[in-house]
Amino acid sequence: MRLSLFSNALVAVLVGFGGSVAIVLAGVQAVGATPAQSASWISALCLAMFVTSTTLSVLHRMPIVTAWSTPGAALIAATAIGGVPTYSIEVAVGAFLFAAALILLSAAVKPLATLIAKIPSALASAMLAGVLIGFSIAVFDQAAKDPLLVLPLVAVFLIVRMVSATWAVIAVLGAGIAWAAILGKIAPMTGGIELTSLELITPVFDPAALIGLGLPLFLVSMASQNLPGFAVLRAAGYEPPTRSALAVTGLASLLTAPFGAHTTTLAAITASLCTGPDTHPDPNKRWISGIFYGLGYLILAGVGVSVVAGFAALPTGVIVTVAGLALIGPLMGSMSAALAPDATRFPAVLTLTATASGLTLFGIGSAFWGLVLGLLALGLDSLAKKMRD
């Protein structure tokens, strides 16, 4: 037993939670959830991460840690048009259940996982980039409205990122709270630390939402979290239990969706904090960090209502800035993957722009149509090449 098994897990929890909770809350607001439903959403996600991380780590003796789908949360947040929800919380929960069912099917039916893997990674990355780019643009829209609040936070991000990209967003969150307090822009909070109770939400299965939200949620969760999560484990010298991990996270997503939680996936960036030699020089001992990681989220699950209340007291500019800056890294990675291959560059740009446009047809959102248009363009390019040959 080494202290690093605990300390590295604690850092992973702080970075994972603090660096992306603002994005989840943006998704919560985009479907019109009440404060009680918002707290239930956060707590259910944390409970899912406690159960899945400890279960997978103990079962396979590997440091397998899980996370909520941050790209999925961004996708949900992007569904609101002009701040007006496109989907109700009940319809969103129906889409979450559909996405969870698809993850379970991927674990049980190998051809489905193979079919998903055949979607060109450039197009999947372009769809994700189209979802994310609006958040980073919104930072500078907020800077135009309130430069005194936002621009110092951007400066903090740039300075801290010179030392550590991992801690840059946490620094912005801390600085944002302090700076908003100095400027007198934090609303008073009612109550202190409160324990959260889960609130059951009756799902509504809207076909348009299943296709426009549930299917893209499944795709971005698989492409942007699960696959990189497996890659992190392989890079650390482990052979990831792919089907078992998908089954456990899919089942957790299915069980927590009625309480508002969107998809639970493998962790990618934060996973590297628990899988490397800094955690323990013996690879066979690092799995213990997964238990400490899960326990950290169990504690956070109990105070979800206070987390929601605390963020609700912050000015919009701080929330938007934290979320937008947190997504610059994933945006950079997804755009690089989308535009790198020459053969798929045009379909990828078409996918990115269509997704970012907010296009909605037949009640189905832009992420789906962006991917459809990209696949169509790719197919036409392939046909044209065959005709020339």
Within-domain flag for 385:
no
pLDDT score for 113: 67
Distance CA 179, CA 234 (A): 41
Residue 151 has pLDDT above 90, yes or no: yes
Ranking 90-99, 248-257, 282-291 by mean pLDDT, the lowest is 282-291
Which domain does 42 fall in, by range?
3-334
What pLDDT is recorded for position 62?
Answer: 92
Length of the chain: 389
Q: Stretch 31-44: mean pLDDT, rounded?
A: 90
Query: Does residue 59 form part of some domain?
Result: yes
Q: What percent of the chain has pLDDT over 70?
A: 95
pLDDT at site 31: 92
pTM: 0.78
Residue 365 located in a structural domain: no
d(Cα 95, Cα 5) in Å, to the nearest integer?
37
**In this structure, what is the dihedral angle of CA atoms 74, 256, 65, 286, given to the nearest 10 degrees?**
160
Asked if the structure places residue 340 within a domain, the reply is no
* CA-based radius of gyration for the chain: 20
* pLDDT higher than 80, residue 262: yes
Q: Is the pLDDT higher at 150 or at 121?
A: 150
Q: What is the pLDDT of residues 152-197, one digit of tens each?
A: 999 999 998 898 777 787 888 888 889 988 888 887 765 555 667 7
pLDDT at 364: 67
Residue 374, in any domain of the structure: no
Alpha helices in the chain (DSSP H): 3-30, 35-60, 70-77, 89-108, 110-117, 121-145, 147-161, 165-182, 207-209, 215-221, 227-235, 242-256, 272-275, 287-302, 304-312, 316-326, 328-339, 345-356, 366-388
CB 52 within 8 A of CB 263: no
Instruction: Count structural domains, the chain.
Output: 1
How far, in Å, CA of 340 to CA of 192, rounded? Answer: 50
Mean pLDDT of 132-142: 86
Residue 237 lies in a domain: yes
More confident residue, 328 or 88: 88
Q: What pLDDT is recorded for position 90?
A: 95
- Looking at the predicted structure, is the pLDDT value of residue 348 above 80? yes
Residue 65 has pLDDT above 60, yes or no: yes
- CA–CA gap between residue 332 and residue 284 (Å, rounded): 34
Mean per-residue pLDDT of the chain: 85
Predicted local distance difference test score (pLDDT) of residue 356: 85
In a domain, 154, yes or no: yes
Residue 53 lies in a domain: yes
Provide DSSP, 13-25.
Answer: HHHHHHHHHHHHH
pLDDT value at residue 191: 55
Task: Report whether pLDDT(76) > 60.
Answer: yes
**Does position 100 have pLDDT exceeding 90, yes or no?**
yes
pLDDT of 268 above 80:
no
49 or 124, greater pLDDT: 49
